[in-house]
Amino acid sequence: MQKIKTIIFLLIISQISFSQKATERFKNNELLKNANISLMIKNLSNGKVLAELNSHNSLICASTLKTITTASALELLGEDYTIKTTLEIDGNISSKGILNGDLIVKAAGDPTLGSEKSGDKDFFAKWINAIKQAGIQEINGNIAVCESCFEKQLVNPGWTWEDMGNYYAPAIHALSYSDNTCKVVFQSGNINTTPQILRTEPAIQGLKFRNYVKSTATKSDNAYFYGIPYINERSIFGEIPANRNEFISKTDIPHPAEVFLKDFKTALDKNNIRFKGDLLVNDDNCRKFIIYTHNSPKLSEICTEINHQSNNHYAEYIFKQLSIGTNSPGNNQDSKSKINNYWKSKGLSTNELFQYDGSGLSPTNAVSANFFVELLSYMYSKSKSFNAFYNTLPVSGESGTLKNFLSSTTLKGKVHAKSGTISRVKSYVGYIKINDQTLAFAVLVNNANGSSKEVTSKIENLLVEVSSSFN
């Protein structure tokens, strides 16, 4: 028995030594020698730290922050939690089927309503059926959207100007509709000409564009939109491929509730439910009579979309969802405090956590590798939602944003992790399963001398080298 213990001890020492040498090679690489790095790799099966470098230094983490948002949500709300949008009436229904009052949609911060990503694609049909079941044939009043559940600070103050107005950073309205995203269809001509805007999908009345886009030899969408919520004007810069009959780029919807109300009224008209009033958006928080409750997909499904596809929109909505039910509407500050207090109560090093949004889009976010590994360790060993959390993470070489990561290495299919990328930032956080061992890792690199692709390659090499000691 003593001999076996000695062999195991020597094996662990060997693995640690091997991993430390791999770490030295990583940090001394010409590409990274002037970069800020925070990394930790820990064997969760025995609690041994295999590799460590500036692990308590908090660095900009980009979208790896989504692991904190989703883990926190699963812990605080539960994996089966659903967001409930209610259809309500304020008034009475006559014997002739006339609603003498308003029909109200009470928003609850559901990011999946009308989403292309997940949720019920035919939800209007169910709403119409509920209205008919309530005996309503005519609405002698208004149709209103109540948006009282979220604060009115629709754009995170830490986001950069170049992000606002783009589809990946839409404003966080209490009522989300169609991912708060509008497709802009261009027709491009010869190189160095200005492409024509053919239409938007959906059509948004009054939406205007200042179009400074150029047709170039590029093969991808490099158009960027600039604008703010509620204002029906967007400026567009950048470039798109030349000589395309139709090319789609995306911007955010200035006021999603208005688009939603227009489509809802169209659905009512098609089903012969008469309506003569106005379409309104307000903050009336008075509880009315509920005739239907629309449930979002389960939180575990929403979190899977967040982490698999790095969905900023969903992440921000779940972030604010955490503070609904407090003395104020869902807001960034209360959500931040709730996350911080929860993990502090679990003994994690929250002095190394600086979280200002849910998605990681803000460059003011900063987290240490140590905190990430502490969180991963807690979820692995103590959380009832570990399996749900683990399955939200994309798989190396197989799925989501990790489809190309480690795809040609021995770690293909063995890593569940989240990537993060913004200007001068590359990070990876997650788990490695190899030979019945589970490793938790966090590698954050800021301000490297090379491209994002080159940094990714170095991180891949590090993880492969460390894991090879287990073969």
Six-digit token string for 186: 């261009």
pLDDT surpasses 80 at 42? yes
Above 80 in pLDDT, residue 285?
no
Q: Are the C-beta atoms of residues 134 and 93 closer than 8 Å to each other? A: yes
pLDDT at 287 over 90: no
Based on the number of CB atoms within 10 Å of its own CB, is 210 exposed (0-12), middle (13-18) or buried (19 or more)? Answer: exposed
Half-sphere exposure of 214 (CA within 13 A, CB side): 6
What pLDDT, in 10s, does the model give residues 379-438? Answer: 999 999 999 999 999 999 999 999 999 999 999 999 999 999 999 999 999 999 999 999
Residue 91 token pair: 């008034």
pLDDT > 70: what percent of the chain?
A: 96
Q: Which tens digits make up the pLDDT trace of 157-184?
A: 889 888 888 989 989 999 999 999 999 9
Rounded to whole angstroms, the Cα distance separating 468 from 15 reads 9
List residues bridging with 43 in a β-sheet: 48, 439
Question: Looking at the predicted structure, is the pLDDT value of residue 22 above 50?
Answer: yes
Instruction: Look at residue 200 and give its three-state secondary structure.
Output: strand
| Per-residue pLDDT tens digits for 452-469 | 999 999 999 999 999 998
| DSSP secondary structure code for residue 52 in this structure | E
The predicted pLDDT at position 7 comes to: 44
Q: How far is residue 392 from each of residues 197, 303, 468, measured CA to CA in Å? A: 38, 6, 26
* Per-residue pLDDT tens digits for 218-253: 999 999 999 999 999 999 999 999 999 999 999 999
Sequence-distant (≥ 6) Cβ neighbours of residue 151 within 8 angstroms: 320, 328, 329, 330, 331, 332
Q: How far apart are CA 309 and CA 311, in angstroms?
A: 5
Helix H or strand E encompassing 455: helix 452-468
- For 396, phi then psi, to 5°, come to -55, 130
Arithmetic mean of pLDDT, 92-102 = 95
How far, in Å, CA of 320 to CA of 333, rounded?
A: 9
**pLDDT at site 323:** 95
- pLDDT of residue 9 exceeding 50, the answer is no
pLDDT at 71: 98
**Kind of pairing between the strands at 353-354 and 233-241:** unpaired
Mean pLDDT value across residues 307-335:
93
Give 191-220 pLDDT, tens digit per residue: 999 999 999 999 998 999 999 999 999 999
pLDDT tens digit sequence for 354-386: 999 999 999 999 999 999 999 999 999 999 999
Kindly list the distances between the CA atom of residue 393 and the CA atoms of 25, 227, 396, in Å, as whole numbers in the listed order.
28, 32, 10
The answer on pLDDT for 101 being more than 60 is yes
Pairing mode, strands 233-241 and 84-93: unpaired
- By DSSP bridging, strand 138-139 and strand 274-275 are parallel
More confident residue, 108 or 283: 108
Q: 181 near 254, Cβ under 8 Å?
A: no
Q: Which tokens sit at 20?
A: 């430390």
- Residue 15 binned pLDDT confidence (cut-offs 50, 70, 90): low
Report the length, in residues, of the chain. Answer: 471
Q: Name which of 337, 311, 321 is nearest 77 in CA terms.
A: 321
Phi, psi of 99 (to 5 degrees): -80, 110
Distance CA 263, CA 290 (A): 21
- Specify whether the CB–CB gap between 181 and 170 falls below 8 A: yes
Domains for the chain: give ranges and CATH numbers. 24-80+301-468 (3.40.710.10), 83-149+159-297 (3.50.80.20)
